């Protein structure tokens, strides 16, 4: 069962990408891509509810569908379904605007390229979360950079191309640092007596952790956390997020912010699970606490005077992933289980937010907060979607972020991280107030009905689906859920 599910999850996005690139009819690409996302979601649900052995490795020990992989597949499948659904109207609007533009820049956007890159992106994320080999994981994360670089620059405007170039440079530099860390871990494993074919397999490293040299592992783990942290959007390599998210197509921003940074952080969790066994918990946890608090501080302060709503959401993502890093630094099972719930709910909330502001951008032709007013009155479904996204992201009950944040803060006292917890609470309050102020400016008031007349078309089903999924998660899921607790137990790995 494990091998069948893993093989299906890996092969489907590749097949969907080939079909999308080959067939000229847009309807075929759309249907295949969304169906692939739904199958990924179904695989995660089947794996969670069936008798799947989470410790079993398949395909020569290269892949494993463990609890963390199941949860991350759930996030990938659900958010990519919403993003794919929203991409249909986005591409229609983009091509229409290109046709009526007085100064069209180059040829019209290519739907086939978009859907092919969309599926390559999905494949790379699936590969990263299923991988049991640090080398393959590194290749997968780098593949996400290649695919998303072209997607960030998909509009072919000077600003989008500049953002794509900046994104590629910063993330590639960070991933190069991670590669150096992976190489050092390989050296430590081989030097400790492991065979070359097993030296980077995560289950082998956690089983034979006593063979690994502490000095080499300290350097290797530090470099991997720093390098993969660049892809997760953690300080000091966070600056690509606002530029990339402000210029990328809104559905791609939803995928990058709602899933990609969480996928990158799931890799960090794999690294931390090895580090805890070899070096004890204090090394990696201190590293994460510093990076997490720094990310929250930078993001919350930038949010206070932000004038651009897409950059605002990107900075919110930096703050959220910083909080996830702080939660990981506490190292308790409760904190890790709550962290995983946080990732799931944030993925839905942030994807809904980006898809909503994508509609706003297409209607108002501006990303300035001051130019958007009265969405609830003139575009009720878009205004509703943005308000729901706000409620999710600032952690209002009954949405899941309320329960995850409460559990994470509660776990801090047991982990003796009271000062770190106090700092995190302060930054959450600052960012929540700033986010709420900006969103309410956009949604309340009278506004201009002429600018928003077409924003509602086809959006209510997307907003309604995300809303219902978030409500169900808030009611049914909790940090004490058995699946989340078992996943947390497998990650903590404290000696």
Of the pLDDT bands very low, low, confident and very high (cuts 50, 70, 90), residue 106 is low
Does the pLDDT of residue 19 top 60, yes or no? yes
Phi and psi at 133, nearest 5°, equal -125, 125
What pLDDT does 105 receive? 56
Average pLDDT over residues 415-438: 89
Q: Which two tokens stand for residue 263?
A: 């996928």
Q: Tens digits of per-residue pLDDT, 293-351?
A: 999 999 999 999 889 999 999 999 999 999 999 999 998 888 999 999 999 999 999 99
Residue 449: is its pLDDT beyond 70?
Answer: no
Give the confidence band of 447 by pLDDT, cuts at 50, 70, 90. low
Dihedral of CA atoms 289, 291, 296, 301 in degrees, nearest 10, equals 130
pLDDT tens, position by position, 358-409? 888 888 878 888 888 888 888 888 888 899 999 999 988 888 899 999 999 8
Q: Mutual orientation of helices 134-152 and 158-191 as an angle, nearest 10°? A: 180
Residue 252 has pLDDT above 90, yes or no: yes
- pTM greater than 0.75: yes
The model's confidence at residue 456, banded by pLDDT at 50, 70 and 90, is: low
């Amino acid at each position: 069962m494990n091998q069948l599910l893993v093989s299906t999850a890996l092969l489907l996005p590749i097949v969907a990408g080939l079909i999308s690139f080959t067939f000229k009819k847009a309807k075929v690409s759309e249907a295949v891509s969304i169906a692939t996302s739904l199958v990924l979601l179904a695989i995660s649900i089947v794996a969670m509810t069936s008798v799947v052995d989470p410790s079993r490795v398949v395909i020569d020990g290269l892949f494993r569908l463990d609890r963390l992989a199941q949860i991350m597949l759930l996030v990938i499948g659900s958010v990519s379904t919403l993003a794919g659904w929203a991409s249909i109207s986005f591409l229609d609007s983009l091509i229409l605007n290109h046709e009526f533009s007085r100064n069209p820049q180059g040829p019209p956007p290519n739907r086939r390229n978009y859907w092919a890159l969309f599926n390559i992106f999905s494949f790379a994320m699936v590969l990263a979360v299923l991988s049991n080999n640090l080398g393959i994981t590194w290749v997968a994360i780098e593949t996400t950079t290649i695919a998303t670089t072209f997607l960030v620059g998909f509009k072919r405007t000077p600003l989008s191309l500049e953002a794509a170039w900046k994104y590629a440079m910063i993330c590639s530099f960070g991933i190069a640092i991670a590669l150096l860390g992976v190489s050092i871990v390989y050296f430590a494993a081989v030097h400790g007596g492991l065979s070359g074919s097993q030296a980077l397999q995560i289950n082998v490293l956690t089983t034979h952790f006593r063979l690994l040299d502490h000095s080499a592992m300290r350097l290797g783990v530090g470099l991997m956390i720093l390098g993969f942290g660049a892809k997760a959007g953690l300080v000091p390599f966070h600056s690509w997020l606002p530029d990339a998210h402000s210029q990328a197509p809104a559905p791609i921003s939803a995928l990058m912010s709602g899933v990609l940074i969480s996928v990158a952080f799931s890799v960090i969790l794999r690294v931390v699970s090895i580090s805890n066994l070899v070096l004890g918990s204090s090394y990696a946890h201190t590293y994460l606490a510093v990076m997490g608090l720094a990310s929250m501080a930078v993001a919350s302060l930038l949010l206070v005077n932000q004038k651009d709503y897409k950059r605002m959401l990107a900075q919110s993502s930096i703050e959220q992933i910083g909080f996830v890093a702080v939660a990981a630094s506490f190292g308790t099972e409760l904190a890790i289980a709550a962290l995983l719930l946080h990732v799931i709910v944030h993925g839905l909330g942030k994807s809904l937010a980006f898809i909503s502001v994508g509609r706003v951008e297409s209607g108002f032709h501006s990303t300035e907060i001051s130019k958007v007013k009265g969405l609830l009155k003139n575009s009720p479904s878009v205004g509703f979607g943005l308000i729901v996204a706000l409620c999710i992201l600032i952690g209002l009950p009954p949405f899941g972020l309320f329960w995850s944040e409460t559990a994470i803060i509660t776990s801090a006292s047991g982990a003796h991280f009271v000062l770190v917890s106090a700092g995190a609470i302060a930054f959450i309050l600052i960012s929540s107030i700033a986010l709420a102020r900006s969103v309410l400016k956009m949604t309340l008031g009278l506004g201009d009905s002429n600018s928003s007349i077409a924003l509602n078309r086809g959006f209510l089903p997307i907003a309604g689906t995300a809303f219902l999924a978030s409500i169900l998660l808030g009611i049914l899921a909790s940090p004490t859920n058995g699946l989340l607790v078992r996943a947390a137990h497998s990650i903590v790995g404290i000696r």
